[in-house]
Amino acid sequence: MSFRIAVGRRHLHVTVHGSPESLEPVVLVHSSGLGARQWRRTIEALSPRHRVIVPELVGYGESSAVVAGEQIHFAADLLGLERLLDRLAEPAHLVGHSYGGFLALLLAIHRPLRVRSVSVYEPVSFGVLRSEEQRDALATLPAADAPWPSSAEQIEAWLEAFIAYWNGPGAWQALAEPMRATFRATATKVIGEVRSLGEDRTPLEAYESLEVPVLLLGSEHSTLAAERVLALLTRAIPDVRRARIPGAGHMGPITHAAEVNAEIARFLATT
- List the CATH number of the domain containing 227: 3.40.50.1820
- Half-sphere exposure for 46 (CA within 13 Å, toward CB): 33
pLDDT tens digits along 246-259 = 999 999 999 999 99
Q: Is residue 172 part of a domain?
A: no
What is the model's pLDDT at position 172?
A: 92
Asked, for residue 157, whether it belongs to a domain, the answer is no
**Mean pLDDT, residues 156-179 taken together:** 90
CA distance 223 to 167: 9
In the predicted model, what is the mean pLDDT of residues 165-194? 89
Residue 20 has pLDDT above 80, yes or no: no
Give the dihedral of Cα atoms 185, 119, 89, 31; nearest 10 deg: 0
Is the pLDDT at 70 greater than 90? The verdict is no
Closest CA to 31 of 163, 155, 152: 163
Evaluate whether residue 37 is within a structural domain: yes
In a domain, residue 10? The reply is: yes
Please state, in angstroms and as integers, the Cα–Cα distance from residue 85 to each residue in 45, 61, 197, following that order. 22, 20, 22
Asked whether residue 195 is assigned to any structural domain, the reply reads no
Over residues 101-151, the pLDDT tens digits come to 999 999 999 999 999 999 999 999 999 999 999 999 999 987 767 778 888
Summarize the confidence of residues 80-95 as an average pLDDT: 95
**Number of folded domains that form the chain:** 1
| Residue 45 belongs to some domain of the structure | yes
- For residue 150, being part of any structural domain is answered with no
H or E stretch covering 16: strand 10-17
Report if residue 194 sits inside a domain.
no
Q: Are 223 and 136 in contact (CB under 8 A)?
A: no
pLDDT for 201-234, tens place per residue? 999 999 999 999 999 999 988 899 999 999 999 9
Domain span at residue 114 reads 2-138+201-270
Reported pTM: 0.94
